[in-house]
Chains A and B, each alone.
Chain A
Amino acid sequence: MQLTDDERAMLDGRGGTAQQKAMELLVRYAEALGAEQFVNTNNVAGVPGSANPFLQQYYRGKDEGGRDAIFSYFDLDADELVDVPDALVPTAHLQGGADREHWRDLGVKVEIFRNYEEREAFASRHGVEILKTCTPYLAGRVPQRGEHCAWMESSAVVFCNSVLGARTNTEGRESTSAAMLTGKIPDWGLHKTEHRYATHRIQVDVPVESVMDWGMLGYFVGDAVQEHIPVLTGRYNHPEIVRLKHFGAAASSSGAVEMYHVVSVTPEADTLDVALGGRPPRDTIVYGVAERRQVYERLNASATDRDVDFVMLGCPHAALEQLQQAAQLLDGRRVSANCHLWIFTSRAVKLAADQAGYSKRIADAGGLLLTDTCSAFAQALPPGAKVAALDSAKQAHYLPAIMGIQAWFGSTEDCISAAITGKWSGELR
């Protein structure tokens, strides 16, 4: 592995012990990957210093002299406490913790919430942008095409690569925190042009139009290609950001898709040949009526009981137009007394929704608009919830497995209707 002079200086500790430990971790990681060098990054998205209840408990009382145990031992995987400097490069905090107003509704105990606040203050003190969302690209952090990033959150990673044309691998907690202190990340995988070309062609033979359609197609594609790079051709309407958000989130849940191409839509896919890098696809996979039906049934496999007591929207965090849509669907109606409606978004989008009046319309109908987390991430359900309705294939993938709940998957309209009636009446249209 080739180290530049500044990287060697960091490794030698000339930038302080925390940066040295960060560089040691990055070198261990790069060697594990078989990377030959680092790339500079000015765009990091991670969860520096955050702590779930297990980590809060594990590291309790281990801070010393103002040195942070969680960041030292867990983020940097160091064997000693270090003084943590400010972020060297722009770094955003992804989702985590609990809504600052409605944390009690999420079932968070007061001491856990206080600790979330302390961890947020720690990150903020060190220059981290507190976005608290899985959709930083909807909250003001939008990388440029070709920009090298170090992002975690699989749905954000796949959006960053595919829709924005920026370059990031699926980084983890430790590598993003190390990148925050060094501005370095291994030059491997999707940082390199030759690894960004499509390997598998998906021939779409059934119309794909709605957000629900794009979520199902993503869930199919992820399962079909696993960690490879698909390119879509065929019958789909030109998708906008919300459809691409749901497609990528689904593909990175059923599989491990970190990049995809949609011919004539995404920036590195002007033509099929460009997306494929001039090589033939390893495989061509057809998505037709039967495949669409199978995906729908798979996403609804956990549910049998049509009495819905929980509806959750906002996975990945809702865009402003999704909150507008929810407000419109709820106008003049009321969430059933037997049901809870939770909608998750980012703080930035919630502020905009507050000013546009969408938040009040959702609240007036009995819905709860929440930020910072989601049901799967927070492992939080309304008291006694047994049957959920979801408009996200990603959430439908995770929530039944994590919480042991039944989950229906359908359109946003199906879900809002279920919230109002307390009954699931969604179907594949």
Chain B
Amino acid sequence: MNVFNTILILAAAFLAVFGEAVLGAPRNLLGAQIDLLPALMVYAALSSDMVTVSLLAVAGGLWFDSLSANPLGITIVPMMAAGFPICLRRDLILRGLPFAQLVLGAAASALVPALTLLFLLNSDRQPLIGWGTLWQLIVMAAGGAVATPFLFSLFGWCGQALGYKPRIETSFRPDREIQRGRKQHVSH
């Protein structure tokens, strides 16, 4: 388990939730706020372990719900529902391909709000839904799809810039250096 990567993912989730709460431009322009947590979950599921995925689901869900009118903890299970199957089957996914990242990002970004809405409708809450919700889901899915490959690039760059560089083994070894030239004969 790479602790640095986990901390980086959680910090990004914290900032993403704060950014969503502060920046109103996507909502004013597109009619929906784009949620970056599902895209982050896809990255965590493909690049980290189940502990990181679980931590992101719990912490990200709690942070999101604390700034929202959602009941506290309702986003945790949808987040985990998006991350768990990806993490479980990640050996079968071509995770390096931007297209795969895009598709997974879109699917997760549509699944998380849809599941959250389903849970809310099953509770005594009355979320604001209508035909416009479909448009909002499309915008969120598209936004998440675009954000996922971008997050992979960003985290790759962060890993290179802030993490330890891998030690490069060279084929040169001084004890196996071939000494050229005439050998010195030692006379006994």
Q: Is B truly associated with A?
A: no
Chain B residues with a Cβ under 8 A of chain A: none
Chain A residues with a Cβ under 8 A of chain B: none
